[in-house]
């Protein structure tokens, strides 16, 4: 009986020692848990120690330059952000049925128009409000930032996903529930396959610990691209997180570029503050407006421009800030 007890005790000691050895091996080599395909790309040298990389990101956030992220980069779709546009007379009912928040059926029109050099800029103010996208069990799939604007049918909305939940996934989830009599039209503005639609929209975030730093980044990296419209002379920022602004820039009575801006950085305010900009144009080449904005913001000679971050840096900031965006279970 004693020998059996000794064998049982020895077995548990060896089992615990083996588990401890495995746990130490995982800590030394995280690739045991995460395959190479699951690793997130970084804008920093991958050989740079994680501690130095994290300190560099935190220093950039606190500096007068701030940071910027391209959430629609073709280099990695792991942490991409998508936008689905909803229009039609049934927009309000559709949003209220699919999301956990309530959205108004009509908004007061606040529209300004400017016509510099024979061109036209239409400025519309809307309301930004988050809503939870739930599954059939009531579990949250994603936190959707919805920007609504007045339209002839009541309202039209832009549903912005959080990083890691592509807009095409949201479109594919919602589109089967649309019927002709609903009076709702969905447009995937950031399709996973670029060839699916012309004028693919791009989503950029400019952030810093001080919101004024993010404003300066947009003034120096976004507005110069629109010098033709003199946009910097009458450009304004959303008043708070519940405000959003849409700029429609036209040539010859045809909208060529749309600029949507809201105060949201997909991170808690204790980590950073700033703005997300959605740029839509009709260009079907690599030299579209969004590409020009990113090239200007991250140019080597732009010494005062924001520091570019990648998906790995964003995910690190999200975890440090304990920011949960929602995962379907």
The answer to whether 314 touches 261, Cβ cutoff 8 Å, is: no
Q: Give the number of other Cβ atoms within 10 Å of residue 283's Cβ.
A: 16
Nearest Cα neighbor of 128 from 245, 240, 243, 264 is 243
Instruction: Give the model's pLDDT for residue 286.
Output: 58
Instruction: Give the model's pLDDT for residue 158.
Output: 97
Is pLDDT of 206 > 50?
A: yes
Is pLDDT of 36 > 50?
A: no
Instruction: Give the model's pLDDT for residue 12.
Output: 47
Instruction: Give the model's pLDDT for residue 8.
Output: 45
| More confident position, 323 or 254 | 323
Report the CATH architecture of 52-320. Answer: 2-Layer Sandwich (3.30)
pLDDT interval class at 23 (50, 70, 90): very low
- Rounded mean pLDDT, 123-138: 90
pTM of the predicted structure, to 2 decimals: 0.82
Highest mean pLDDT among 73-82, 171-180, 215-224: 215-224
- Rounded mean pLDDT, 173-187: 88
Q: Note every long-range contact of 253-256, with CB atoms under 8 Å and residues 24 or more positions apart, other chains counting.
A: 253/120, 256/281, 256/282
Is pLDDT of 73 > 50?
A: yes
| More confident position, 129 or 30 | 129
- Rounded mean pLDDT, 86-101: 93
Nearest Cα neighbor of 161 from 188, 195, 197 is 188
Is pLDDT of 157 > 70?
A: yes
Could you give the C-alpha distances from 96 to 26, 129, 282, in angstroms and in order? 45, 12, 31
Nearest Cα neighbor of 256 from 116, 88, 114, 119 is 119
pLDDT interval class at 34 (50, 70, 90): very low
Cα–Cα distance between 218 and 40 in angstroms, integer? 26
Nearest Cα neighbor of 171 from 187, 157, 147 is 187
- Domain boundary assignment for the chain: 2-38, 52-320
- Rounded mean pLDDT, 235-255: 89
Instruction: Give the model's pLDDT for residue 199.
Output: 60
pLDDT interval class at 30 (50, 70, 90): very low
**DSSP β-bridge partners for residue 148:** 127, 157
């Amino acid at each position: 009986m004693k020998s059996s007890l000794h064998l049982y005790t020895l077995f548990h000691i060896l089992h615990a020692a083996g588990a401890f050895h495995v746990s130490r091996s995982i800590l030394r080599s995280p690739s045991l848990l995460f395959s190479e395909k699951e690793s997130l790309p970084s804008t920093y040298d991958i050989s740079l120690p994680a501690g130095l990389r994290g300190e560099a990101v935190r220093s950039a956030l606190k500096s007068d330059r701030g940071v910027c992220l391209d959430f629609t980069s073709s280099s990695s779709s792991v942490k991409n952000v998508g936008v689905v546009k909803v229009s039609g007379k049934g927009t309000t009912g559709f949003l209220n049925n699919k999301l956990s928040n309530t959205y108004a059926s009509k908004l007061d029109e606040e529209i300004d128009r400017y016509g510099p050099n024979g061109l036209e800029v239409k400025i519309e103010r809307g309301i930004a409000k988050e809503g939870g996208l739930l599954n059939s069990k009531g579990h949250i799939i994603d936190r959707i930032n919805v920007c609504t604007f007045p339209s002839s049918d009541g309202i039209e909305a832009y549903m912005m996903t959080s990083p890691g939940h592509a807009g095409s996934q949201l479109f594919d989830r919602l589109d089967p529930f649309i019927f002709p009599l609903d009076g709702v039209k969905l447009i995937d503005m950031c399709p996973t396959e670029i060839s699916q639609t012309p004028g693919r929209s791009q989503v950029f975030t400019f952030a810093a610990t001080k919101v004024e730093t993010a404003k300066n980044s947009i003034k120096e990296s976004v507005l110069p691209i629109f010098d033709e419209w003199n946009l910097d002379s009458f450009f304004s920022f959303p008043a708070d997180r519940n405000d959003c602004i849409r700029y429609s820039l036209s040539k010859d009575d045809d909208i060529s570029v749309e600029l949507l801006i809201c105060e949201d950085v997909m991170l808690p305010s204790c980590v950073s503050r700033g703005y997300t900009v959605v740029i839509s144009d009709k260009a079907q080449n690599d030299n579209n407006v969004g590409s020009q904005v990113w090239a200007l913001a991250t140019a080597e000679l732009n010494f005062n421009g924001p520091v570019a971050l990648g998906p790995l840096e964003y995910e690190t900031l999200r975890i440090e800030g304990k920011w949960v965006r929602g995962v379907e279970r």
